[in-house]
Structure 1
Amino acid sequence: MNLHLLVPALFWPDAGLPDIYRDLSLPALENLIAKCSSDDDESEGLEAWLCGAFGVAKQQDWPVAPLALLVDGAEDIKAGNDYWIRADPVHLHIERDQIVLADSRVFRMSLQEAEALTSVLNQHFAASNQELVFLPLRPDRWYMRVTKTPAAKTHLLSEVANRGINELLPFGVNQTFWRGLFNEIQMLLHSHPLNQSREAHGEPVINSTWFWGGGVMPESPSSPYTSIWSNNVLARSLALASRTDHIPLPPSAAMWQQSAASGHHLVVLDALYGKAQYADAYGWRESLKELERSWFAPLWAMSRQGLFDRITLIALGECKSKNFTARRVDLRKFWRRPKPISIYAR
């Protein structure tokens, strides 16, 4: 059995905070990594890695929107040959001298609220004869089919979360249209009664949408894996597109082992990702401790039992990924002694 373990934000992104690793007990992870050979790759983020793994080329954007329609789309909503783009609801707020974006991980919203907000947008753009229709297929995942509108070049929502947006707005030859649309939507949503109610109840207002992940459906994504284990929407979408088995992520490696047959498996452990993006150091440490208990410790035990022909751990960072790989024979090299995890994070 071969296992690819994809772990975004395994290392804390701020190298200037070395104390974050202090008193972290991670013997299984450190032992496993010690047996591995390692190399570094440039990284464009989780979405780029997943697309690359399935042979999906970047268009103007990574085509997340048409792929995700495989999961989110209704029977009468298919990507077809159309250009689709995500227009996800976000909360913008001012910090110091910049506008900072928060995505749906920091607010709750019902489908009824999403429909109320997009109804206002759709009415406005229909009245102005612009062929723009917002589809709230999930409360936190909105889509827009683009026909006559010029395609956009955008930054992934994951790149923008908890950051100032001034330098991250749509760019390229069509940026004037998309930036103007972004500002127009803010004005429409700002005074919506729903947002006034949310503000009165101390909830973040939904005062904009973030355009990202535009493209047309790629042709025939291919999978190097037998099975995909993940709660990530894009990973599930790519599994569907490539006709690969997809299974929701079990809570532990022990439960995964009960269902995993021979083959080549991709397991996506993204519990650390949001904590790192929002600079939640305590939450990141606690999540890493839980991964040690529920995943790394059982996987290390399985490795010592010779279960894996090859195990690869991809520690995906913002600009660089560290790839750790061990074959069955490497796992018996007792002279490779474990080192503190902070050594690898440098």
Structure 2
Amino acid sequence: MLPPRTRFAGQALPAAVARALGRADRDRGDGGLGAAFDVLPRGWPMAAVMRQAERGDAAGAQWVRADPAYVRPDINGARLLAIGESLGLDDASAETLLRTLRPVFGDFGMPIEATAPSRWYLRVDAGAPLPSFAHPDEALGADLFEHLPPGDAGRRWRALLSEAQILLHQHPLNADRATRGLAPVNSVWFWGGGRLPDHVTTRFTRIASDDEAVRALAMLANAGREGLPAQWPGDVHGDAAFDLRRMRGLDALCRQWLEPAIDAVRHGRLATLELVLDDGIRYRIRRSQALRFWRRPLRAPVADDAE
């Protein structure tokens, strides 16, 4: 599971990778989590999925993540600059902030609690309508107001966010954080809303990822789950998935992962290598494709796609 092609725009592929991708079978399908998991009903209610993985009590309600966040005003509005772990909260600080927020969330009928300093959850009545929420990856660095819950269904959530921001803005903990050169916790971010899925399945027996959401889905799918190793692990048995969507540098991605994996295919240690980019482009690499000598190497990750 790889980042979208646009992340590597302007970067050239090493010769071995360019040659293998040029000769590979190419098509388009689901990218991201959809490449590894099948969820019913359709959707990605990640708050409920992660709550179930952490506490085992997600059934019977809807859940929404309301993670601590830092919003910075600018000339055009406000930008969401940090969510969750990057704020470096400890247990005591998180509890101090939650103590201030519990009354307002309680008044809205949505108790708030934390399973960890950076993971805050809202329990929502099973029949309550939920708007669509923007994932943190979509909203980080962007204009806050472009990613707020939309429409009539989002009105009470926008009001709730506004009240939470007022309470957090004046909280004395943030004055203390400022003296230590830390960003204030002046907002929360709603995301991942929904109820626990009826079914989560995967074709993989082993899934390696540093994303807590991926590991939670793997748990519900009864797949082996582990942290992502620093590089291609060598011998891979069974159907294994490696979540590389957070990698930033094409050089490191190729050196640590793609080149050794392609070499494993070339020497018969791996039957098939499937590369699924986050935007849905897929490459399937097999040993027999070495005979396709007439196909040109792929110039760059954003070139010669399967469309």
Q: Could you state the TM-score of these two structures normalised by the residue count of structure 1?
A: 0.79
**1:288 paired residue number:** 250
Match of 1:174, SS state, is: helix
- Give yes or no for the alignment of 1:67 onto 2:30: no
* CA offset digits 1:196-219 (Å, max 9, x no partner): 111222211111111111111111
Distance 2:264 2:218 in 1: 26
Deviations 1:226-258 (A, max 9, x none): 2111121121111111111112211111xx234
Q: Aligned residue for 1:144?
A: 122
- Equivalent residue, structure 2, for 1:35: 23
CA displacement at 1:340 relative to structure 2 = 2.4
Question: 2:265–2:272: 8 Å Cα contact kept in structure 1?
Answer: no
Q: Which digits, 9 at most, give the CA deviation of each residue in 1:82-132, with x for residues without a partner?
A: 111111111111233121112336532223222221121014444xx4432
* 2:102 equivalent in structure 1: 122
Q: Which amino acid aligns with 2:196?
A: M
Question: Is 1:7 the equivalent of 2:2?
Answer: yes
Distance 1:217 1:342, change over 3 A: closer
Query: TM-score, length-normalised on structure 2?
Result: 0.88
Distance 1:335 1:68 in 2: 48
- Please tell me whether the aligned partners of residues 68 and 237 of structure 1 are also in contact (alpha carbons under 8 angstroms): yes
Distance 2:218 2:292 in 1: 35
For 1:159-198, list aligned pairs within 5 A: 159-198=138-177
Match of 1:203 among 160, 165, 182: 182
How many residues in Structure 1 have an aligned counterpart in Structure 2? 303
Structure 1: runs of 5 or more not aligned: 1-5, 273-283
In 2: Cα distance, 1:327 partner to 1:218 partner? 35
Distance 1:67 1:34, change over 3 A: same
2:271 to 309, 326, 338: 309
Matches within 5 A, 1:1-346: 6-12=1-7, 20-21=10-11, 26-41=14-29, 46-47=32-33, 49=34, 53-58=37-42, 62-73=44-55, 78-104=57-83, 106-126=86-106, 129-147=107-125, 150-253=129-232, 256-258=233-235, 260-261=236-237, 263-272=238-247, 284=248, 287-316=249-278, 320-341=279-300, 344=303
Code of the aligned partner of 1:55: V
The 2-side partners of 1:87 and 1:96 are apart by 26
CA-based RMSD of the aligned residues comes to: 2.5
Structure 2, unaligned stretches of length 5 or more?
A: none
Percentage of identical aligned residues: 26
